[in-house]
């Protein structure tokens, strides 16, 4: 039997694998692979846990967003109602204010009219008294004039008191 190179390759191959088995290399590789598999499995479990937590957080955020949207709609509706109510109140106040100003103006006009009539009456009475006085002084003697003047003056005063009251 001739020992050739393939024989020595086969022997070295068997020795190599025997050495690997003797040094428990396959078992160490198996332990390392099992350890890596366990780590990967733990990471997958952790990622699933994080995914479920993220889904819960997303659902919570979505519900808060929906609540905020509803609240903002309610606030907008309330603001619209308030603005409509304020517009109506302001309109009513404006009309009431205009009515009050109109009434005050009418009262002032009436007062001014009454004052003007009183001034006209006073002026006409003064002119009449002066005219009567002039007529009397030119046509009647002094003693009769004084008696007539006093009598007419008293009557005029009484008439003026009746007019002013």
Burial of 140: CB neighbours in 10 Å, binned 0-12, 13-18, 19+: middle
Element (H, E) at 82: helix 25-139
Which carries the bigger pLDDT value, residue 165 or residue 157?
157
Residue 121 makes CB contacts below 8 A (sequence gap 6+) with 163
Average pLDDT taken over every residue of the chain: 87
Please report the sign of the dihedral spanned by the C-alpha atoms of residue 15, residue 20, residue 23, residue 27. Answer: negative
pLDDT in tens, 24-38: 888 888 899 999 999
Residue, of 105 and 128, whose pLDDT is higher: 105
Question: Rounded to a whole number, what is the largest CA-CA distance in the chain?
Answer: 197
Q: What is the dihedral of CA 102, 103, 105, 111, to 10 degrees?
A: 160
Predicted structure pTM score: 0.41
3 state SS of 23: coil
Q: State pLDDT tens for residues 62-86.
A: 999 999 999 999 999 999 999 999 9
Contacts of 132 (CB under 8 A, 6+ apart): 152
The lowest-confidence range among 44-53, 96-105, 142-151 is: 142-151
Tokens read off for 68: 């905020």
The pLDDT score that the predictor gives to residue 140 is 62
* pLDDT tens per residue across span 120-138: 888 888 888 878 777 766 7
Q: How far is CA 116 from the centre of its chain?
A: 52
Confirm if 98 and 125 have CB atoms less than 8 A apart: no
């Amino acid at each position: 039997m001739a020992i050739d190179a393939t024989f020595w390759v086969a022997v070295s191959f068997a020795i190599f694998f025997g050495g690997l088995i003797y040094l428990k290399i396959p078992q160490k590789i198996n332990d390392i692979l099992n350890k890596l598999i366990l780590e990967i499995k733990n990471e997958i479990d952790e990622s699933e846990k994080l995914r479920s937590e993220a889904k819960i957080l997303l659902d919570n955020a979505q519900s808060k967003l929906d609540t905020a949207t509803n609240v903002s709609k309610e606030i907008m509706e309330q603001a619209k109602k308030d603005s409509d109510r304020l517009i109506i109140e302001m309109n009513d106040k404006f009309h009431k204010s205009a009515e009050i100003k109109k009434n005050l103006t009418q009262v002032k006009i009436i007062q001014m009219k009454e004052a003007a009539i009183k001034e006209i009456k006073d002026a006409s009475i003064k002119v009449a008294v002066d005219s009567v006085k002039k007529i009397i002084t030119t046509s009647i003697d002094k003693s009769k004039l004084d008696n007539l003047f006093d009598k007419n003056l008293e009557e005029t005063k009484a008439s003026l008191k009746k007019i002013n009251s």
